[in-house]
Structure 1
Amino acid sequence: MWLDERVLALFKKNLQPTLTYWSVFFSFGLCIAFLGPTLLDLRCQTQSSLQQITWVFFSQQFCLLLGSCFGGLFKRTVKQSLLVLFISALAISLVFSIIPFCHNVVLLAIVMAMAGLAMGCIDTISNMKLVEIYQKDSAIFLQALHFFVGFGALLSPLIADPFLSETNCIQSNGTANTSSSLEHIRNSLVAHHPRNLSHYELPMTGLVITRVSYAFWIMALINLPVPIAVFLLLYKEGMVPGCARKGSSLLRADELAMETHVAEKAEEHHSTQTAGPTASSHDELFSCLQSKNFQGASFSYFAIHVTGALVLFMSDGIVGEYAGFVYTYAVEKPLSIEHKKAGYLPSLFWASITLGRLLSVPLSYWMKATTMIFINLSGVLLTFLLLLLTSYSTVFLFVGTALLGLFLSSIFPSMLAYTEDVLNYKGCATTVLVTGAGIGEMVLQMMVGTIIQQEGSHSFLVCGTIFGCLAFAFYVVLLVFHRMHRKPSAEVSGEQAAMKEGSLSYQR
């Protein structure tokens, strides 16, 4: 067995919560990838224009960011975090069920905003709880967690595909759209960039013929076991009213009660000395930004959060812009690939990301997170440089797309495990990194779309190369700040004294 006995025993001890967090991330993947393929059918269902329907993208992405920040508020207690996870997983199933009844684009945008909030909470809380459970061994379990989001993102378009309209789903005498032009539009739709499709005259009124509702109901059924799994974990932990069970605790209360008590006592003692009696209410929200964390190595502590988020801002931004615009780049000059053939590129990219995350599960056990991140970022940069050098090669575009997906696949979980380890698992890094990654995916995609619109499709690879260089540079800066981030001996001795004092008070 490639796992040692200690890690395997830890996994067995936390089997149910680990599997539950993995399953919740599968819900996240299902929800994040269905919108693109189904957007034309949803346009018909809501009888809206291309410009109007792409606002649904924005509502989901923006609320996903809000949900990521909101999820960070529930890191203190197991009860809060599990309850939010249950509501979020249930909300995703409800969203899948409700979408077929949304015949107005504003209502659809509101429903997708609810889905975005749920997805953001899932993203932050699942990552945070796995890091909290496994700490220094969390890298391998985070890689598995992100494999499940990739698996869900790969599955939902496959479920939707048989139910997508092959001809225009609003029957009108004024237009005659072919299936090939619809396929081109479907592959070209990216959030807030429908302007390059304005010459297509799609009807907004007429007889609506679409079967996409069946795809959403199937996904709702597939996702239904996930909130059930979270509910079972709530029941096991004795958090269901009227169904309390003694002797069970997700955070192993018998082992961690003293540590939790000591930490809370130390924080309360320090906050009363530095901030007065009114500070305690703010400590719950900003516990990772306590003044004690800025003694001695304050600048490096702050800088590690910022540079780690910037690395993921760039790397996740590359994922968003490449998946969104590789098709547009392929069908235009100089490659001019056939529409149907170019349509395989985004699928190949996501399949490579999913495969890369699966391969990273055993690799993260044998390889340090810093080494994996260095290899991945170097691979991303080299792949973009090779794509630039072979920009007239159709074959290498497919090869480069697969390589890029493999190298990008494990950057996020490796960076999360590494940063939390450097910062001693205070929990704040997860929220900052998840939010930074989400902002990057949205902002860079919009930026690249605007640049392609103004400068042409050749700028697509140039933008990716620049983002790859910046991600690598920020990672080097992060390593420098890591070397600067050392706890002063006075602080360490102070913490040891606080733990000793807290241990005595706990025994009393």
Structure 2
Amino acid sequence: MTIAILGPTFKELATNVDKNISDISYIFVGRSLGYVGGCLTGGVLFDHINPHLLIGISMLMTALGMFTIPWCTKAVLLTALMSLIGISMGFLDTGGNLLILLTWGRKVGPYMQALHFSFALGAFVAPILAKPLLGSLGKSINGSGNNLLTNTRNSSQSKVARLVDMLKTADPFTWTYLVIGSFVLLISVSFFIIYLKNGPSRNRPGNSSAEAQFTRYHNVILFLLSSFFFWYVGAEVAYGSYIFTYAKDFVHFDDNQAAGLNSLFWGTFATGRGIAIFLATCFHPGTLILLSLIGCTISSLLLALYNTNIIALWLGTGLYGISMAATFPSGVSWVKQYTHTTGKSAALFVFGAALGEMVVPALVGFLQGISAIKHYPILMLTALGTSAMTAILFPVMYKLASSPSSVQPVSDDRKALLGSGPDEDEISEELPEDWNDADFEVIEMSDVKNDIDGTPARNASTRTTDRFSPEHSVFPSLSSPVYLGGSPKKKLLQLEREKND
């Protein structure tokens, strides 16, 4: 809501600072630069400071900025406030994704989808809150304020009179920022309560023994994921920003039809993220990414080939919006399956997304202004090109993440003892924590005894269970094959391999 409210109230902001709309477009640049700085700074801080405290501080900064913006009459101060909000939003994006990963771990799928669905929901609610909903509220406040101000005219210095006078002069534009700021302030207080209840030392990002696993290509995968989000988020913002203009200038829609096409894109986008919450409980993140990439490729190809066909434009826009919805949260959940995510790594892919949000829309706008190529469907070709880039990057990331050399190898002794069936997680769960060399020696001695007595060999788990039974308490002599065959672990590995053959 804080990010999306800037568009519907841009005209009022320009009026407040006595500027034209075109003269204060640099506030977007200030907010974007603050956002990038917040992402990078937050990535470092979240590795050392409690995430609840940092998110609470960032939300408090946002609330203060929202309370101050309606009364700002200087363009420089407005730009500074937008930069402050951008910094806090960068903190929130980095810390929010990281905190969700730390809280639910490998089961993060539906919770990550719900987090990003709330972004789309806020962007949908903000314009409604700015115009129709609070318009009637402002009128009612003005009417009641006149009556109450008349009753308190003789005591103009009273606090009630000053408060009523402030409410009387507040328009829907001001009320919008006050309502959103109050909501953000409430969430900030909630995070401070969680921080005080848990204590400063709890829930601090750290490397647990179960989670602190890095693949061999950890840095490469994070870099490719950042590039992946660069193209994806850039395409999302560019299409949502320019589809209205494209529909009017290129397909010759009227204002209502162009606005309807724009609403269709964001409506299907929000709907897709809502549906993805339930799909994430049934499908792996990689599967959702694959389905999203297929949908984006098909829809962007349809839009590029039939760029002036009305039916193709409506169908392609709806399919493109719903296909893009689950990509970002699924990507964040997907990388959690293969490597440990820290504050710095979360900041890296959020930085890639922020950079794409700035670069790709600016590039599309620049190309559309060139007279030699403006008759080409630049927006649709951009959608097709970014879909192709993401469709190439994800298989490469998946190949690196799932390659055998990138997985921490299990020792030969464990493989020989437990066989090749279970994966690494199952091995770590089934193997006792106090496993040591003596256990291997006991199992080896029981194998030798079984070979001498002619009794059938039992599996490893059965031998481990009764390794301290009386029948296994016989110690072989120095000439036993246990000592002639080298170390117990090596002989056990050789025996197991022979049995498997």
Does the pair score TM above 0.5? Answer: yes
Range moving further from structure 2, 457-466 or 369-378: 457-466
Change (3 A) 1:374 1:214: same
Q: How does 1:387-402 map to 2 (within 5 A)?
A: 387-402=303-318
Question: What one-letter code is carried by the residue in structure 2 that aligns with 1:45?
Answer: N
Instruction: Choose which of 371, 374, 380 in structure 2 pairs with 1:456.
Output: 374
Question: What one-letter code is carried by the residue in structure 2 that aligns with 1:330?
Answer: A
Instruction: Choose which of 307, 320, 330 in structure 2 pairs with 1:414.
Output: 330
Question: What one-letter code is carried by the residue in structure 1 that aligns with 2:254?
Answer: E
Change (3 A) 1:75 1:222: closer
CA distance in 2, matches of 1:108, 1:492: 64
Q: How does 1:341-356 map to 2 (within 5 A)?
A: 341-356=257-272
Confirm or deny: 8 A CA contact 2:47 2:342 kept in the other structure.
no
The DSSP-based 3-state class of the residue aligned with 2:367 is helix
CA distance in 2, matches of 1:360, 1:419: 17
2:247 equivalent to 1:327: no
Unaligned runs of at least 5 residues, structure 2: 136-168, 414-427, 435-501
CA-to-aligned-CA distance 1:316-341 (integer Å, 9 cap, x gap): 111110011101100013x1100132
The DSSP-based 3-state class of the residue aligned with 2:7 is helix
Confirm or deny: 8 A CA contact 1:159 1:219 kept in the other structure.
no
CA distance in 2, matches of 1:452, 1:478: 33
Confirm or deny: 8 A CA contact 1:65 1:438 kept in the other structure.
yes
Instruction: Choose which of 470, 475, 478 in structure 1 pairs with 2:389.
Output: 470
Confirm or deny: 8 A CA contact 1:86 1:227 kept in the other structure.
yes
What residue is the counterpart of 2:282 in the other structure? 366
CA distance in 1, matches of 2:239, 2:177: 26
What residue is the counterpart of 2:496 in the other structure? none
What residue is the counterpart of 2:38 in the other structure? 67
Question: What one-letter code is carried by the residue in structure 1 that aligns with 2:192?
Answer: F
Q: How does 1:102-251 map to 2 (within 5 A)?
A: 102-162=72-132, 211-239=172-200, 249-250=202-203
Change (3 A) 1:492 1:339: farther
Instruction: Choose which of 440, 447, 451 in structure 1 pairs with 2:356.
Output: 440
Offset at residue 414 of structure 1 (A): 0.5
What is the aligned-residue RMSD (CA, Å)? 3.2
Offset at residue 363 of structure 1 (A): 0.4
Offset at residue 73 of structure 1 (A): 1.6
CA distance in 2, matches of 1:361, 1:121: 24
The DSSP-based 3-state class of the residue aligned with 2:308 is coil
Confirm or deny: 8 A CA contact 1:420 1:430 kept in the other structure.
no
Change (3 A) 1:209 1:367: closer
The DSSP-based 3-state class of the residue aligned with 1:224 is helix
CA distance in 2, matches of 1:399, 1:47: 42
2:307 equivalent to 1:307: no
Offset at residue 164 of structure 1 (A): 10
Range moving further from structure 2, 361-370 or 397-406: 397-406
CA-to-aligned-CA distance 1:193-252 (integer Å, 9 cap, x gap): xxxxxxxxxxxxxxx99752222122223333211221221232135xxxxxxxx9547x
Confirm or deny: 8 A CA contact 2:222 2:348 kept in the other structure.
yes
Change (3 A) 1:425 1:492: farther
Question: What one-letter code is carried by the residue in structure 2 that aligns with 1:312?
Answer: F
Offset at residue 487 of structure 1 (A): 3.2
Instruction: Choose which of 487, 495, 505 in structure 1 pairs with 2:407.
Output: 487
What residue is the counterpart of 2:15 in the other structure? 44
What residue is the counterpart of 1:183 in the other structure? none
Offset at residue 490 of structure 1 (A): 7.9
Change (3 A) 1:427 1:104: closer
Question: What one-letter code is carried by the residue in structure 1 that aligns with 2:112?
Answer: L
Offset at residue 427 of structure 1 (A): 5.0
Q: TM-score, normalised on structure 1?
A: 0.69
What percentage of residue pairs aligned between the two structures are identical?
Answer: 24
Change (3 A) 1:222 1:386: same
The DSSP-based 3-state class of the residue aligned with 1:31 is coil
Change (3 A) 1:133 1:452: same
How many residues align? The count is: 382
Confirm or deny: 8 A CA contact 2:131 2:172 kept in the other structure.
no
Offset at residue 390 of structure 1 (A): 2.7
Instruction: Choose which of 87, 94, 103 in structure 1 pairs with 2:64.
Output: 94
Q: TM-score, normalised on structure 2?
A: 0.70
Confirm or deny: 8 A CA contact 2:43 2:345 kept in the other structure.
no
Question: What one-letter code is carried by the residue in structure 2 that aligns with 1:487?
Answer: V
Confirm or deny: 8 A CA contact 2:367 2:378 kept in the other structure.
yes
Question: What one-letter code is carried by the residue in structure 1 that aligns with 2:337?
Answer: D
Offset at residue 163 of structure 1 (A): 8.4
CA distance in 2, matches of 1:483, 1:385: 30
Question: What one-letter code is carried by the residue in structure 2 that aligns with 1:435?
Answer: F
Change (3 A) 1:452 1:250: same
CA-to-aligned-CA distance 1:335-385 (integer Å, 9 cap, x gap): 110013212333332222221111001101111111110110111111011
**Which structure has the larger Rg over C-alpha atoms?**
2
Confirm or deny: 8 A CA contact 1:41 1:210 kept in the other structure.
no
Unaligned runs of at least 5 residues, structure 1: 1-29, 166-207, 240-247, 265-287, 502-508
Range moving further from structure 2, 209-218 or 220-229: 209-218
Change (3 A) 1:155 1:163: closer
Offset at residue 118 of structure 1 (A): 0.5
Question: What one-letter code is carried by the residue in structure 2 that aligns with 1:314?
Answer: W
Confirm or deny: 8 A CA contact 1:163 1:214 kept in the other structure.
no
